[in-house]
Structure formats: C-alpha cells, structure tokens
Amino acid sequence: MEGIYAIWQRDVIKFFRDKARLVGSFAMPFMFLILFGSGMSGALSSMIGGNAAGPLAAFDFVEFMFPGIIGLTVFNTAIFSALSVVQDKEFGYMREILVSPMSRVTIAIGKVLGGSTVAVIQGLMMLLFVPFIGVSITFLMVLKLIPVMFLVAFAISSIGLLIASSLKTSQGFQMVVQILIFPMLFLSGAMFPLNGMPAWMDVIVKINPLTYSVDMFKKIILQPEQMAPALREAMGLNLSIFDHVITFSQEILVVLAVSVVFVILATIKFSRAEG
C-alpha cells in the first residue's frame, strides 16, 4: 500500500506543480463550451426544436452540453495522465522505479489511481463555470458526480496505461491518443444528441465506453426523468440497446466491467514492458 500511495502522491503533486498543464487542460473543454455551446447554441437549438412551442421550447444546448464537457474533461485528463509513463521511460526515471523493491503491479495501480484522482479534480474544477453558463447544479448532484467521475477516470486511466505501456515515445503516445479521442468524443453524445444515427455508426456508439459515461453525467445533472418525453427524446436521453432503455445502474456496471478488464490488461502489459 505504501508503494501505491507513493506513486499516487507523486502524480498528484506533479499535476499541481505543472501550471501549464493545469491551465491547458481547460483549453479544449472551454473551447467546446464557448464555440459549440454558446456560439452555436441558437442555430443547433433551432434545428432540434428549441425555438418551437411546447416542451421542446425548454431545450437549452449549453445545458445539454455541460455534462458532456465534464465527461470530456475527465476523459482527456485521465487518458493523458499515462503520458507520464512514456516520459519516465524517455528520461530513464522509469528504469529506476522498476528496479526498486516495489512490484510492477503496485506501480501500475498507483499510476491508474493517480491519473483517476487528477481527472476527478479537473472534472470538479469544471463546475466553476456553472454560475456563468446558467446550469443549475445542487450539492447532492456534486456528491453523486464524484464517485461516477472516479469510476470513469479509473477506466480511462487504465486504457491510457495500456497504450503507454506499449509505446516508447511521447509523440507516438500522443498520436495514438488523438486518433482515439475524437471518434470516442463525437460518438459519445457529449457534443450533440445521438438521434437518427446510421446503423453502423450506432454500433460504434454502443461499444464506446464514453457513451455510457457521458450518459451517466447527463442523468445526474439534467435529470431526464423530470422532463417531458418529447424533450427527453430530442436531447437523446434515451440510450437503448434493442429497444431496452439503459438504466443508470446498468451503465455503472458497463463502466465497471470496462475498468476491471482494462486495469487487468494494463497491469499485465506494464509488468512485461521494458523500462
């Protein structure tokens, strides 16, 4: 446990000391929130029906996007936390860690937990934008968000560690991650409702772990059970497989399963990797 704590502590302290990373990690989520959320809100809301009379008049695109922005922040921070593994390899620090008494499993778990913690902190910091965008979030919602953020971050950090354990350069890691980020992001429902997708694309949506992660954030923040059915449909808050609407508990199980599978794969790969 001391070894896990030491690795975890190093990554968390390193994050807070890196001011450029701390500020830069807000850049992409903030850009999406301003560009797509505020800049295109009127046009997209009009297309979906937000300017119409009736229940669809309540459609607010900024409010719709905000849970997705939290998901993007957690995802981005968690997966890029594994970049430190590649950097440690490049600078020779990883070799020093690997020859220490700590087992490689301990190091891998510490890395995943460190990345998960940093991602949760970043996700919570996004809530600072709430007063400026008109989204209503209660203290109870925040309490619900924290464990969900951690579960999602744990799964994504494990995926990041698996990738990092397979690569030797920072450039290679960043290229692979960038290729993964955009399809997973845009096919997760974070940026727009996932209605009317082609069949082949819908399959990708359903196997994308970020889809279930973003949907959990939406269910906590947007509370779709209190919406009119037409509004819930327009906002894509009806994620289903074979006409079965996926519940919050089932989404927890999906992300938990992804976490278990990838943390095992990442630990095995990391244990076999060379420093």
Q: What is the pLDDT of residue 49?
A: 53
What string of pLDDT tens digits covers the 275 residues of the chain? 778 888 899 888 888 887 777 777 777 777 777 766 665 555 555 555 555 555 555 567 778 888 988 998 999 899 988 888 888 887 777 777 777 777 888 888 999 999 999 999 999 988 887 877 777 888 999 999 999 999 999 999 999 999 998 888 888 998 999 888 888 888 898 888 887 788 888 899 999 999 999 999 999 998 888 777 777 777 778 888 888 889 999 999 999 999 999 999 998 888 876 65
pLDDT at 147: 96
Which residues sit opposite 240 in a β-bridge? 245
241: β partners:
244
Mapping DSSP onto H, E and C, the string for the chain reads CHHHHHHHHHHHHHHHHCHHHHHHCCHHHHHHHHHHHHHCHHHHHHHHCCCCCCHHHHCCHHHHHHHHHHHHHHHHHHHHCCHHHHHHHHCCHHHHHHCCCCCHHHHHHHHHHHHHHHHHHHHHHHHHHHHHHCCCCCHHHHHHHHHHHHHHHHHHHHHHHHHHHHCCCHHHHHHHHHHHHHHHHHCCCCCCCCCCCCHHHHHHHHHCHHHHHHHHHHHHHCCHHHCCHHHHHHCCCCCEECCEECCHHHHHHHHHHHHHHHHHHHHHHHHHCCC
Nearest to 271 by CA among 90, 154, 87, 105: 105
Q: How close are the terminal C-alpha atoms of the chain, in Å?
A: 22
Contact present, 94 and 257 (Cβ < 8 Å): no
List of residues 6+ apart from 11 with CB closer than 8 A: 81, 84, 110, 111, 114, 115, 117, 118
Contact 120, 142 (CB under 8 A): no
Strand partners, 244: 241
* Residue 170 CB neighbour total at 10 angstroms: 15
Burial class (CB in 10 A: 0-12, 13-18, 19+), 23: exposed
Structural domain of 78: 2-272
For residue 115, the model assigns a pLDDT of: 93
- Looking at residue 38, its pLDDT comes to 61
List CB contacts of 114: < 8 A, sequence separation 6 or more: 7, 8, 9, 10, 11, 12, 81
Q: In total, how many domains does the chain have? A: 1
- Among 72, 61, 73, 71, smallest CA distance to 192 is for 61
